A and B are shown apart, each in its own frame.
Chain A
Amino acid sequence: MADSTTGEQNITRFGEEGLRGRLERYRELRITEEELAIALLTPVMLFLLAVSFYPIVDTVWASLHTGYVIQLPTQSTEFVGIENYRKLFSDGSFWNALGVSLFYTFVSVPIELVFGLGLALLLKADFKGKYFAQAAILFPWALPTVINAKIWAWLLNPDYGVISDILVRVGILSAPYPFLSKPDVALYAMTSITIWKTTSFMALIMLAGLSSIPDHLYESARMDGASRWRRFRDITLPLLKPTILVALIFRTLPAFQAFGLPYGLTGGGPGEATTTLVLYTQQAAYNNPGPTNGGFALGSAAATVITMIALVIALIYVATLYEPEVR
């Protein structure tokens, strides 16, 4: 590279080229690859530093102190070590929320994956009206989560809901059923709604993966007399593995951070039956931001725990997946 100067040549700060040479190049906008790369990457790195990495550090810092009080700058915060974590871990609601989030995540994601793959195999074919069908099937994915929650709250309304109505008409139920006000059932309902919404997203990713599998593999397998199932098991599945792992990361982390759905659907109820970790954290932080209770400190501790768990999940996935594609 042009800039790699030996110690001997590196007499001036600008190396063999000298300041004049540099200015000359800049004037002509003939900068080196390295300089161009720095110029192109600096905005993104600054952005991420300010809005992603600094807040994480601040959250960890806050979780080790007494509650910081907004709008009262005179109030000082005090280092309390793991006190907030002790408070958090002795709160039954926290463990309940952890359980809810784990159930919600690890039940919905595998089901979405299987349904999504099936849907993608359907959508792979060319057929009349494919464009509209695809748009309609992808629509739930684009639907804002909290609006989705409102829609399903109406569909599952305990007295007038159309889901009860349909189930009564086909004879499964004899009267409207309050799906969202039974503690056991509400979590299943919420999980099902997420599966309804996100299967289309899974299908989208799977479709992308399927289209990257070369057709000639199937051709030659067919010539060799491989059955449809064999072709699926020995060609599609293995070649789809990287896509499946990407899809798992793409869905597991957001599912683990579910907030809008429980907020809009049930408000976390009945009781705490659908209070996810993030909803718990948000409530801990914002319903209780007083100086003594330190809602923000407790919320920060909970947020830090969520970060840790998310990173562990991501690490497990990445360890099985990561093959950097850098030239």
Chain B
Amino acid sequence: MSIVDSVRETRLEDVALWDVGKRLGFYGSILAMVSISMFPVFWILLSSLKPPSELFVFPQEFLPYTIAIEDGQPTLVQQFPLTLENYRTALQERPVGRYLINSAIVASATAFIDVVLGAMAGYALSRLRFPYKLQVLLIILFAALLPFISRLIPLYKLAIDLQGTAFGPFFGLNQYLGLILPYAAFQMPFAVWIFQAYFNELPASLEEAGLMDGLSRVGVLFRIILPVSMPAMATTAIIVFIYAWNEFLFALTFMTQDSKRTITVGIALFGGQFNSPWGTITAAVFMSLVPLMVFMLVFQKKIVEGMTAGVGKA
């Protein structure tokens, strides 16, 4: 049915005001939610582009330009000049680029470890028969319930003790691995769970077909199972990456050297508690948000799908 036909067929009383209202209400709610979610980011961007003199006034300007009617002509009136000054200061005074690279290294490595080990364990727990399976699964999930703070002090002590020993370069203070290994361990139960739930959904005939074709069990794993588990891998990688990118308590404790700090710690230690340089802080914060916004736009669908696989089945 073409649109014209459907319009012709719809009697006027059916196009109830109610429907229009409902639609308006729906889009209104969505718009409101988007605004509430994104307003802080807009405000950070705006603040970061303001000259310092504009930053510390009340009330604040909401837009750099307004439209005024002068002599019957609408004209743009500048409220304040936009400037990149804050960005220059942020980049010159603090190694924001370095922080971002550190975060990227730590988060990627953590995601990689959890995908590999999580897939292995998830496969075993879902597809293989072996004794004490339930107990093993419970032990792994139990680890997820343990608070991070109760693992911080011993690991910190360990890192200090290992400083200067042969293990120092691997798991000492200011070593990437000092963050990567704990992060990977903390998110491991989650990764295992995602993979286990995903493999449970795969039909057994997949492997049977492979075994009939003369592949070994390991062959089935590499040739058949791994290629079809890309979605679970992507989800795990993304969610673990976001976790590692965002973590703060361990990053603050283990990275004492400025050049090794992650972006979260770097920004948290920008300026003092009072008298903060808000111009440069907002610039640095916005720079840290850009990769995140791109990430969310690109991978949002995968995140939603992954949670569906992991959570919906619980």
A residues whose Cβ falls under 8 Å from a Cβ of B: 1, 28-31, 33-34, 36-38, 40-41, 43-45, 47-48, 50-56, 58-59, 62, 68, 70-71, 73, 119, 122, 125, 127, 129, 131-140, 142-147, 149-155, 157, 159-160, 162, 164-165, 168-169, 176, 196, 200, 204-205, 207-209, 211-212, 242-243, 245-247, 253, 256-257, 259-260, 263-264, 267, 278, 281-282, 285-286, 296, 299-300, 302-304, 306-307, 310-311, 314, 321, 324-327
Contact = CB atoms under 8 A, between A and B. Distances in A.
B312 A212 contact: yes
A150 B157 CA distance: 29
A257 B285 contact: no
18 contacts: A40-B120, A41-B136, A44-B140, A44-B188, A51-B155, A51-B186, A56-B146, A73-B161, A136-B38, A137-B33, A146-B267, A147-B268, A204-B303, A243-B312, A296-B153, A310-B146, A311-B146, A325-B197
B121 A44 contact: yes
A34 B296 CA distance: 40
B289 interface: yes
B281 A154 contact: yes
Interface centre among B121, B123, B156 (most CB of A within 10 A): B121
Interface of B: 26-27, 29-30, 33-34, 36-38, 40-41, 43-44, 47, 55-60, 117-118, 120-121, 123-126, 128-131, 133-134, 136-140, 143, 145-157, 160-161, 181-182, 184-186, 188-189, 192, 197, 200, 216-219, 242, 245-246, 248-249, 252-253, 263-265, 267-268, 270, 273, 276, 278, 281-282, 285, 288-289, 292-293, 295-297, 300-301, 303-304, 307-308, 310-314
B285 A138 contact: no
A33 to B, nearest CB: 5
Given A144-B248, A324-B137, A55 B150 contact: yes
A281 B149 contact: yes
A254 B73 CA distance: 57
Given A33-B128, A70-B157, A303 B188 contact: no
A299 B253 CA distance: 14
The 3 closest A-B pairs by CB, nearest first: A51-B185, A212-B312, A58-B154
Contact of B143 (A48, A125, A134, A324): A48
Contacts of A154: 43-44, 47, 278, 281-282
B146 A133 contact: no
A70 B256 CA distance: 16
Given A41-B120, A51-B155, A152-B40, A33 B130 contact: yes
Contacts of A310: 145-147
Given A40-B120, A137-B34, A303-B150, A146 B268 contact: yes
B33 A47 contact: no
Per DSSP, chain A at the interface is helix
Given A155-B40, A263-B268, A169 B134 contact: no
Contacts of B273: 267
Contacts of A300: 150, 153
Contacts of B137: 324, 326
A136 B188 contact: no
A267 B161 CA distance: 29
A245 B314 CA distance: 9
B33 A119 contact: yes
Contacts of A168: 59
A55 to B, nearest CB: 4
Nearest to A243: B311
A150 to B, nearest CB: 6
Contacts of B296: 135, 138-139, 142
A122 B249 contact: no
A36 B221 CA distance: 11
A326 B312 contact: no
A205 B311 contact: yes
B292 to A, nearest CB: 6
Given A144-B246, A325-B200, A157 B120 contact: no
B295 to A, nearest CB: 7
